């Protein structure tokens, strides 16, 4: 079993936090291998004066996009500052009296998962007010080797992408923090407490740790596997499976012929994936209470499957098959991809090979650039 940054901090590196007034940026994923809460564990060595919660809230029980109010932790009797409210960056008032911020949240390996934006903005605040910043590192659950997808164009910067990284970045949060500090040119005292025993080839189910869903629609490691591509479905009028037991694995709409879609996708013989026709009725989100028809994404080889290309193939076939029904949620799709060129290419019937080749050079450049910040 690997040792988390949290473990290493508590077992030999306690001096980093002793006698410090700490703000802890975390949620329900901030646990050790025994599922003990980081708030309880860290409180034995420092004064935790405030908690900060990302999207989905401190307990991870709020659906995507819903504003969360700040509150009080009833057990510790300390404030929980919401970083998914009117303000998404810690304010001077929130950090008043603190001399250290600690970030300890499980990521899922995709640029548009908003916890990375919370990390980015919290580092900015720490730099602005002279507060030390500590990242307790955790695994990239979909391994740390592959870099995939378009690099964010600054014109499309938003809370689902604040830094020009690929859609699948292949880094841990600690490594990304080092990259952010270097590229943002921050005057910041940053300490990354690394893991022990984690290697880049590892997927989360090879770590020996328990999977705690980082958000309501990320129930399993399998969800995280497809998420770098299937999140793009959010930028269309297809259901991405929210409101079902298989978010991001079930894709469909009321007007799709599921048999036909599955057949066309399987004919492509894409590496590492099969498609099965399905019928589902979301309890909420798009097409709530309506019967949808579509496909389930079955990853058969996670080493060769390319979720972003799989998603683009699916969208391309739906555009060709249902030109009168399919629609992009144009602005949001472009924010997710980090460009308007992918949507334009899909509408102009460009091949997925041509589209994926358009980002290869920049992805290779990023892969080289990230090497200076890799820990493992």
CA 76 to chain centre: 28
Distance separating alpha carbons of residues 319 and 248, to the nearest angstrom: 19
How far is residue 370 from each of residues 152, 171, 267, 341, measured CA to CA in Å? 15, 8, 36, 25
Task: Say whether both 260 and 189 belong to one domain.
Answer: no
Q: 13 with 115, same domain?
A: yes
Per the structure, how many domains does the chain have?
Answer: 2
Distance CA 214, CA 142 (A): 14
For helices 173-184 and 352-370, give the axis angle rounded to 10 degrees. 80
- Distance CA(98)–CA(130), nearest Å, equals 10
Distance CA 269, CA 114 (A): 33
Helices (H) then strands (E): counts for the chain? 11, 12
Residues 52 and 100 in one domain: yes
Cβ(84)–Cβ(68) below 8 Å: yes
List, in order, residues 6 or more apart from 272 with CB less than 8 Å away: 299, 300, 301, 302, 303, 304, 305, 306
Same domain, 140 and 250: no
**Residue 192 shares a structural domain with residue 244:** no
- 155 and 235 housed in the same domain: no
362 in a domain, yes or no?
Answer: no
pLDDT for res 73:
86
For 71, counting Cβ atoms within 10 Å of its Cβ (0-12 exposed, 13-18 middle, 19+ buried), the class is: middle
Q: How far apart are CA 261 and CA 189, in angstroms?
A: 52
Which residue has tokens 């098959």?
A: 321
CATH label of the domain that carries residue 71:
3.40.50.12170
On whether both 209 and 230 belong to a single domain, the answer is no
Residue 123, both tokens: 């580092």
Same domain for 115 and 41, yes or no, is yes
Q: What six digits make up the tokens of 72?
A: 């009080």
Q: Is 117 part of a structural domain of the chain?
A: yes
Residues 63 and 199 in one domain: yes
Q: How far apart are CA 167 and CA 93, in angstroms?
A: 33
Supply the pLDDT for residue 76.
82
Distance of CA 108 to the CA centre of its chain: 4
Q: Where are the alpha helices (DSSP H) in the chain?
A: 5-10, 38-43, 92-95, 115-128, 173-184, 221-230, 258-266, 307-321, 330-337, 341-347, 352-370
My answer on whether 194 and 265 are in the same domain is no
Domain membership of residue 236 as a residue range: 221-339
pLDDT tens track, the chain, 376 positions: 999 999 999 999 999 999 999 999 999 999 999 999 999 999 999 999 999 999 999 999 999 999 999 999 888 889 999 999 999 999 999 999 999 999 999 999 999 999 999 999 999 999 999 999 999 999 999 999 999 999 999 999 999 999 999 999 999 999 999 999 999 999 999 999 999 999 999 999 999 999 999 999 999 999 999 999 999 999 999 999 999 999 999 999 999 999 999 999 999 999 999 999 999 999 999 999 999 999 999 999 999 999 999 999 999 999 999 999 999 998 999 999 999 999 999 999 999 999 999 999 999 999 999 999 999 9
d(CA 24, CA 4): 16
């Amino acid at each position: 079993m690997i040792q988390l940054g949290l473990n290493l901090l508590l077992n030999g590196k306690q001096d980093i936090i002793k006698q410090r007034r700490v703000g802890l940026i975390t949620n329900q994923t901030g646990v050790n291998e025994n599922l003990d809460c980081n708030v309880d564990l860290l409180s034995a060595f420092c004064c935790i004066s405030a908690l900060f919660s990302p999207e989905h809230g401190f307990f991870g029980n709020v659906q995507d996009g819903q504003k969360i109010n700040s509150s009080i932790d009833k057990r510790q009797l300390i404030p929980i500052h919401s970083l998914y409210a009117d303000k998404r960056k810690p304010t001077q008032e929130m950090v008043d009296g603190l001399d250290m911020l600690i970030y300890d949240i499980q990521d899922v390996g995709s640029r548009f998962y908003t916890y990375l934006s919370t990390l980015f903005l919290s580092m900015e605040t720490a730099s602005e007010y002279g507060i030390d910043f500590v990242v307790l590192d955790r695994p990239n659950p979909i391994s740390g080797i592959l870099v995939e997808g378009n690099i964010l164009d600054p014109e499309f910067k938003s809370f689902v992408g604040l830094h020009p990284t690929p859609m699948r970045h292949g880094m841990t949060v600690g490594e990304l923090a080092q990259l952010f500090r270097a590229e943002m040119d921050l005057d910041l005292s940053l300490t990354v407490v690394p893991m022990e025993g984690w290697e880049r080839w590892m997927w989360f189910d090879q770590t020996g740790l328990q999977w705690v869903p980082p958000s309501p629609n990320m129930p399993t490691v399998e969800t995280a596997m497809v998420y770098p591509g299937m999140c793009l479905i959010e930028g269309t009028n297809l259901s991405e499976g929210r409101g079902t037991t298989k978010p991001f694995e079930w894709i469909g709409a009321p007007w799709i012929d599921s048999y036909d879609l599955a057949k066309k996708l399987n004919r492509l013989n894409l590496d590492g994936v099969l498609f099965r026709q399905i019928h589902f009725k979301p309890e909420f989100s798009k097409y709530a209470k309506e019967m949808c028809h579509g496909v389930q994404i079955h990853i058969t080889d996670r080493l060769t499957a390319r979720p972003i290309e799989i998603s683009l193939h699916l969208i391309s076939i739906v555009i060709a098959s249902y030109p009168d029904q399919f629609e992009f949620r144009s602005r949001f799709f472009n924010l997710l991809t980090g460009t308007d060129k992918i949507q334009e290419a899909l509408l102009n019937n460009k091949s997925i090979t041509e589209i994926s080749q358009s980002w290869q050079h920049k992805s290779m450049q990023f892969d080289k650039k990230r090497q200076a910040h890799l820990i493992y």
